Amino acid sequence: MSRLLYSPASPYSAKVRMAAAWLGLPIETETVNTNDEPALLVDSNPLGKIPTLLLDDGSALFDSRAIMQELDRMSGRKLYPRNAQKRMEAERLEALADGICDALLAQVYEKRFRPAEKVHQPWLDQQARKAARGLDWLERNAPRVTTKLTGGQFAVAAMLGYLDLRFGDTNWRRGRPRLKRFETRFAAAFPEYATLRPQG
Ligand SMILES: N[C@@H](CCC(=O)N[C@@H](CS)C(=O)NCC(=O)O)C(=O)O
């Protein structure tokens, strides 16, 4: 059985775990600490990043978007729309949500891994602007939640969960009612969100 290396706080991992659960795919999961650079992880993924999916044939797949495409194939194409235009929109939504995560993580890592006197505030501010612009774009183009969830929606939900986990003080819901509504409707359509969203 495939095995997913992940961490509970990781938004990219949460996206993949939620999608796998939604599709009912039998995938084992194992937590890893990327800072320890465990052999299990770095021998499979030279980048030492999660999520990494260990496949039955002994090979490994990364990153999260490549894994999502594999989940789509494993499920008989149930994770992304078949219609070309809608599929492109779902993939763009995922890219944007992941990109917002990149900007959020850059801020977390800047503070976590650099000595306090070397933290560069203009860099933090630039990353925060990227995230804010991304959220504003999502507010203007909030995804509609129907009975068919897509990879893009799992990505947005995982990113919002990460915002709550690490940036709760920014009050991202203020002024973004459509994004807040997406969150509520997504949580109703996929109750496992409560347990699979990024956790500290
Ligand atoms: N583009 C990658 C990003 C993965 C990523 O940056 N994951 C973080 C955890 S949320 C990580 O592994 N960080 C450890 C590191 O960068 O060394 C993806 O979509 O999977």
Cis amide linkage into residue 8, ω under 30° from 0: no
Query: How confident is the model at residue 4, as a pLDDT?
Result: 98
Query: How confident is the model at residue 36, as a pLDDT?
Result: 98
Query: How confident is the model at residue 46, as a pLDDT?
Result: 98
Q: Which atom of ligand 1 is nearest to the CA of 48?
A: 17
Indicate the domain borders of the chain: 3-74, 84-194
Longest Cα separation, the chain = 51
Query: How confident is the model at residue 104, as a pLDDT?
Result: 98
Residue nearest to atom 14 of ligand 1 (CA): 49
Query: How confident is the model at residue 77, as a pLDDT?
Result: 98
CB 148 within 8 A of CB 89: no
Query: Which amino acid makes up residue 15?
Result: K
Q: Does CATH number 3.40.30.10 belong to domain 3-74?
A: yes
Query: How confident is the model at residue 85, as a pLDDT?
Result: 98
Q: Which residues line ligand 1 (CB under 6 A)?
A: 10-12, 34, 48-51, 63-65, 98, 105
Best CA proximity match to 142, nearest among 98, 185, 193, 192: 185
Query: How confident is the model at residue 45, as a pLDDT?
Result: 98
Query: How confident is the model at residue 60, as a pLDDT?
Result: 98
In a mutational test of the pocket of ligand 1, which residue from 6, 47, 50 has the highest number of ligand atoms less than 8 Å from its CB? 50
In a mutational test of the pocket of ligand 1, which residue from 12, 40, 68, 112 has the highest number of ligand atoms less than 8 Å from its CB? 12
Q: Which residues of the chain have pLDDT under 70?
A: none
Query: How confident is the model at residue 63, as a pLDDT?
Result: 98
Pick the CATH number of 84-194 from 1.20.1050.10, 1.10.238.10, 3.50.50.60, 3.60.90.10: 1.20.1050.10
